[in-house]
Structures are given as C-alpha cells and as structure tokens.
Structure 1
Amino acid sequence: MRHSILAFVAVGLMLVAGPLAAQDAFKPAAGTELPDVALPPQLDRVLRDYERAWRAGDAAALASLFAEDGFVLQGNRPPVRGRPAIQAAYEGQGEGGPLRLRALAFSTTDTVGYIIGAYGYGSTPGDTGKFTLTLRRAPGEPWLIFSDMDNLNASPRQRNVPDTPSPE
C-alpha cells in the first residue's frame, strides 16, 4: 500500500512539473530585441509624423494623424475614441519627449493596414514598450491611424524599484 501511495505522488508531481517546465521553454530570452523592418515611405511617414508631434507636445497634430472615429488604447486608461477626445487625452500627457518609434512588422491592402512596433526614448538603448497601429485610408489617400494600442515592456514597479533582498 505504501509503495502505491509513493508511486501516485511521484506520477502527480511529474504531471504538475512537466507543464511548468514547458512554460519556461517559451519565454523569450531577457533583452532579446526583434530587428527593425523597413517601411514603405507612406507608412514610415505615419511614424515620423507621430514622433515629431509627440516631441513637440502638439496634441492637435497628434490627433490629426487619426481617423475621425479613431481610437487610442493606452495601458491603465479607458479607451478614447474620436479626434476631439484623442486630442484631449494627449493634452493631459505633458510635454512629450524624445520618442523613438521602430517597426517590427507591417502589412497593407488598398484601404487597411497595420504596423507592429516598439518604442523608446532618447538615446537610452533598448525598447521601453511596444505598439500596434491599425491604419485606414480612402483609396489613394494618406494613411490615418484607426487605433493606437501601446504598453510597457515592464511594469513601472519592475523598472523603478531596485532589487532588494526579501525580509526573512
């Protein structure tokens, strides 16, 4: 009886430990940065115009890059829809700063497309976060942002709190 209980416990531990070990196999290596992709000029313009408006702290210029019924989907904030609401949301975010945007992937058809990318600030190496832009346009017209969703690569707590030993 005692051997069957030990065998049952051993099998149970293997069933639990197997999936846990498999989960670690799919985690990307820390500091792994995906390479940039070159964008066609009409898509690159969207990113460069966004950078310029952000750096200038120009909420009206940022909002003008969006479709009339576009969305801003930022972490820890409710969704914002429409140019007036987008402008108001950006007006409350301070002076801007030296934003850097880079593309990781993109695709377009005639009137819809997307850019997946990463962002950072100034000359600090590495990416602070990542974003997706969904794009829309009338045939032959410039691309407008339909939705902008971004989030940080690490929580503010992880980035700002130094490692300290846990109390024992």
Structure 2
Amino acid sequence: MGVTRFMLASVVLGFGVAAVPLLATDLPKPTSSTEVPDIALPAELDRVLRDYERAWRAGDAAALAALFTEDGFILQSNRPPTRGRAAIRAVYESQGGAPLRLRALAFSAGDTIGYIIGAYGYGAGPGDTGKFTLTLRREPGGSWLIFSDMDNANAAPRRPNTPASAEPHQAAKPAIG
C-alpha cells in the first residue's frame, strides 16, 4: 500500500511539474509604462486632463479644486486622503507650478460615471514619472468633474539619509498623477 501511494504521489507531482511550463507560457508579459501606448479620449474627457495640466502649470489651486466634485477626493502617495473641494484647494496651495504632462492609457464613461487611467511626467523629457486613476462624475448632460484622483510614482520614494545625488530627482507630484 505504501508503494502505491508513493507511485500516485509521483505521478501527480510529475503532472504538476510538467504543467508549469504550459501555464507560464499563457501568462501575459508584464509591460513597463513606456510600453503602454497613449489613447485618444473623447473631447469632454480630454478637457479634464488639459484643464488639470493648465491649472497645475499655473499653480492655480482654485482652478484645480474647481475640477473636482464638491465631495471629491485626492489620494496622493505618502499622504492621508483629502476630501472636499475646500480641503483639496488647501492641499494644492503648496503644490503645482511644474510643467506637468498627462496621457491617457484607458477610459470608460457612461451617462454619469466614468474613469481615466493614465500616466504623468514633467517637462519634455521621455518617460513617465508615475500613474493615476481618475473617477469622474457628472450630472446628466453636465460637464465631467473629478470625484477621486489617485496617483503614485513609478519609483520608490527616497530613503531617509540618502543623498539626493544618489537617487533620481523627482519634482513634487500632483494628485492627478
């Protein structure tokens, strides 16, 4: 009886080991952010990104906050959530003024709810600094507003006591990405 269990276990293990290469070949290859192409957005969604870029570049906290619903959120890396247009404006008072670039990677929009998944960078240089998701809302027939904006950087934050010259420089990052 012990030999039979050993043989059965060997067969099962053998099939498992043989199946691993088959399963691995079916898995999609991970892509870096530079491999994910931009997509064109419908004009009313693209307006949200372009208005955000303009307000960020100008350092205009009031204009940035006006892009959000009254009860909207910003969810920035390494910070607690911020909720409400007035609180969002207060956070943006100390941010902005950099040459922000936003690009869309995916989107969906219904009548009153939508989203944009994207990437962001600064200046004319290649590559993305980070990525973001925007959850959008609107009243029927109205303009899209940001309900939530979650972003994070593509690189880990610098560790304490690490000289700035030892790690790549990153500009302050906006909530949108």
Shared fold, TM over 0.5: yes
The alignment's TM-score, normalised by the length of structure 1, stands at 0.77
Runs of 4+ displaced beyond 6 Å:
none
Decide whether the 8 Å contact of 1:34 with 1:104 is kept in 2.
yes
Distance 1:38 1:147 in 2: 21
The two structures have a TM-score, normalised by structure 2, of: 0.73
Residue range with higher mean Cα deviation, 73-82 or 154-163: 154-163
Residue 119 in structure 1 maps to residue 129 in structure 2: no
2:9 corresponds to:
none
The answer on whether the counterparts of 1:99 and 1:120 sit within 8 Å (CA) in structure 2 is: yes
8 A contact 1:73–1:148 mirrored in 2: yes
Q: CA offsets per residue over residues 4-40 of structure 1, 9 Å max, x none?
A: xxxxxxx9xxx9xx8xxx7xx8773556420001000
Q: Which residue of 1 aligns with 2:84?
A: 82
The CA deviation at 1:96 is 1.9
Structure 1 residue runs of 5 or longer lacking an equivalent are 1-10, 164-168
Structure-2 residue corresponding to 1:6? none
Write the mapping of 1:89-128 to structure 2, written as runs, cut at 5 A.
89-93=91-95, 95-128=96-129
Matched-pair identity in % = 73
Is 1:154–2:138 an aligned residue pair? no
Q: 1:73 aligned to 2:75?
A: yes
* Whole-angstrom CA distance in 2 between matches of 1:136 and 1:130: 20
Instruction: Look up the SS of the partner of 1:48 in the other structure.
Output: helix
Gaps of 5+ in 2: 1-12, 169-177
Count of residues paired in the alignment: 142
Distance across 2 between alignment mates of 1:138 and 1:161:
49
- RMSD over aligned CA atoms reads 2.5
Q: Distance in 1 between matches of 2:81 and 2:44?
A: 27
The answer to whether the 8 A contact 1:33-1:126 is kept is no
CA distance in 2, matches of 1:29, 1:107: 21
